[in-house]
């Protein structure tokens, strides 16, 4: 690894045309308390509509739980009447929304913003732990509280508000702007009623690589690290696969148990899986490597030994040791393994015949879905042979040899079955040296200050962009606000999710300026 090649931070950039817009909106309107409270109340109203998606929801039109999304669409139309008059608004599969603000230069590829209207459940078991009810949309002048206030209704409200402010200034774009709003991003991995349908519509309309830049949600993108503010747009996502591990053995009465029940055997398998993690690697294509280089070159308080390990090629072992020492860092360089669900046994005096564990994997850039499958086969085939089990691994069956075993536990044999559910390879990596990344970095600096260091990062989760890979090679994922605005840290997907008004206004300003900047740029 050669780590000492410097990525020069681009200069901060402000839109050059229409200085009157900057004066009216950025310098005056956005500083107004009345305007800020108005935007906050818009978000509060959006939070009050419980657009929850659950795993395994049925198709739109068949599952009644989708009906609430009609109310949300009506709320947006009522809240942004000027935008609905000026833009072309399409409904896709009932609840997906596609806003198109057509530019005057049709040969320019469009800018695409993404968001989603659905939220995760708030959980009845912990409802009493919320400071305010999870769908109250309580606004206390500093925070908007409730499920979806951060993930992801804040981005959506900020985008639409930014467009409305530009409409108020009679801004007419050269480049078409598209806002695609999915409605099942938080659903199960096998659901694809929203973003997939939106992506199919856009592919037909603009063609392969027909979009200039795609910008979607991500982490709260401005963070303090090593005493320095970093903006961290993700330029890639890890892959995904769930592996179901099932042990099948003869049942019977619990009064005459074998040495190991099906659950006992499964426990051995789980211990073997957890005890043999995937190998950590930091390859050149991983955006984490670029972030580390930028941190080593530009951060204020990075320890000298870590800085040296990053910048010196012979210190790669030490660098990997540093990454492996923390689970958040480790996730950036390794395929993760999480045993999340287990099923088996239905009565205390009956030996279970079938037990299953579901293991979630977020696949690192250096690995593939097939690598995960191969890892399981290599790891568990010896175990199956030891215990005289048949091995049915991802559709390929290996018969047990039926060799007599010393332990009475396996006299009747068994089967170990491995199946893969929802296979997704890691995403393409958007090139950080591309001029479009510099457009983004320069805009971020213009909004958040020249002292902010912009560096790409890898996203360990998955967003709706998984359906949009064919639309553009430049896809960025980031929620453009300072995480430091909430001293408790971001609370997405947990109790007391909330959005600081300061962060919400940073989002509005970012989208307002990025639309104008990209409108002026040409590749």
Binding site per annotation, positions for Zn(2+): 116, 151, 186, 216, 493
| Cα separation, 178 vs 491, whole angstroms | 29
| Cα separation, 76 vs 164, whole angstroms | 12
Neighbours of 5 (CB within 10 A): 7
| Cα separation, 385 vs 217, whole angstroms | 46
CA nearest to 517, candidates 7, 21, 8: 21
Annotated binding site: 116, 151, 186, 216, 493
Are residues 394 and 371 in contact, defined by beta-carbon separation less than 8 angstroms? no
Positive or negative: CA dihedral 244, 248, 251, 254: negative
Residues 6+ apart with CB under 8 A from 365: 236, 238, 283, 285, 286, 426, 429, 458
Active site residue 118: yes
Are residues 339 and 359 in contact, defined by beta-carbon separation less than 8 angstroms? yes
Residues 6+ apart with CB under 8 A from 377: 391, 393, 394, 418
Are residues 453 and 232 in contact, defined by beta-carbon separation less than 8 angstroms? no
Which pairing describes strands 414-424 and 389-393: parallel, antiparallel, or unpaired? Answer: parallel
The catalytic residue among 152, 164, 184, 185 is 185
The catalytic residue among 118, 152, 217, 464 is 118
Facing residues of 392 across strands? 397, 417
Task: 434-437: list long-range contacts, CB under 8 Å, 24+ apart.
Answer: 434/473, 434/474, 435/521, 435/523, 436/212, 436/213, 436/474, 436/521, 436/523, 437/233, 437/235, 437/474, 437/476
| Cα separation, 485 vs 142, whole angstroms | 10
* Residues catalogued as catalytic: 118, 185
């Amino acid at each position: 690894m050669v780590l000492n090649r410097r990525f020069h931070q681009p200069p901060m950039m402000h839109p050059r045309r229409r200085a009157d817009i900057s004066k009216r909106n950025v310098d005056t309107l956005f500083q107004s308390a009345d305007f800020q409270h108005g935007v906050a109340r818009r978000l509060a109203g959006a939070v009050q509509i419980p657009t929850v998606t659950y795993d395994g929801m049925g198709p739109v039109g068949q599952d009644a739980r989708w009906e609430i999304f009609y109310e949300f669409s009506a709320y947006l139309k009522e809240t942004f009447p000027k935008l609905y008059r000026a833009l072309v608004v399409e409904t896709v599969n009932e609840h997906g929304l596609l806003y198109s603000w057509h530019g005057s230069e049709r040969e320019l590829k469009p800018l695409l913003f993404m968001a989603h209207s659905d939220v995760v459940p708030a959980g009845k078991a912990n409802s009493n732990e919320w400071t305010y009810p999870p769908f109250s949309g309580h606004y206390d002048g500093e925070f908007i509280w409730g499920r979806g206030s951060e993930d992801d209704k804040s981005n959506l409200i900020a985008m639409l508000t930014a467009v409305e402010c530009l409409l108020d200034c009679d801004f007419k774009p050269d480049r078409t702007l598209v806002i695609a709003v999915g409605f099942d991003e938080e659903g199960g991995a096998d659901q694809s009623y929203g973003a997939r349908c939106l992506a199919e519509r856009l592919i037909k309309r603009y063609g392969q690589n027909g979009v200039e830049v795609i910008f979607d949600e991500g982490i709260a993108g401005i963070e303090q690290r090593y005493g320095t503010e970093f903006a961290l747009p993700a330029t890639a996502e890890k892959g995904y696969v769930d592996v179901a591990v099932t042990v099948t053995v003869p049942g019977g009465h619990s009064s005459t148990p074998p040495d190991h029940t099906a659950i006992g055997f499964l426990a051995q398998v789980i211990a073997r899986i957890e005890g043999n993690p995937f190998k950590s690697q930091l390859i050149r294509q991983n955006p984490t490597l670029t972030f580390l280089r930028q941190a080593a070159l530009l951060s204020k308080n990075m320890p000298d030994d870590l800085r040296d390990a990053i910048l010196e090629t012979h210190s790669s072992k030490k660098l990997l040791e540093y990454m492996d020492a923390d689970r958040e860092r480790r996730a950036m360089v390794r395929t993760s393994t999480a045993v999340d669900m287990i099923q088996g046994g239905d009565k205390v005096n009956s030996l279970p015949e079938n037990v299953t564990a579901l293991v979630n994997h977020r696949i690192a850039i250096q690995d593939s879905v097939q690598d995960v499958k191969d890892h399981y086969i290599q790891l568990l085939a010896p175990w199956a042979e030891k215990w005289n089990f048949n091995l049915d691994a991802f559709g390929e069956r290996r018969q047990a040899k039926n060799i007599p075993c010393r332990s009475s536990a396996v006299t009747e044999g068994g089967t170990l079955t491995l199946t893969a559910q929802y296979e997704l390879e890691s995403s393409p990596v958007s090139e950080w040296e591309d001029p479009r990344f510099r457009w983004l970095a320069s805009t971020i600096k213009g909004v958040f200050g020249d002292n902010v260091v912009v560096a790409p990062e890898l996203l360990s989760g998955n967003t709706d962009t998984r359906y949009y890979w064919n639309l553009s090679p430049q896809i960025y994922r980031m929620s453009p606000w300072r995480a430091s605005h909430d001293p408790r840290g971001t609370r997405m997907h947990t109790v007391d999710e909330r959005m600081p008004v300061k962060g919400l206004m940073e989002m509005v300003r970012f989208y307002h300026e990025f639309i104008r900047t990209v409108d002026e740029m040409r590749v």
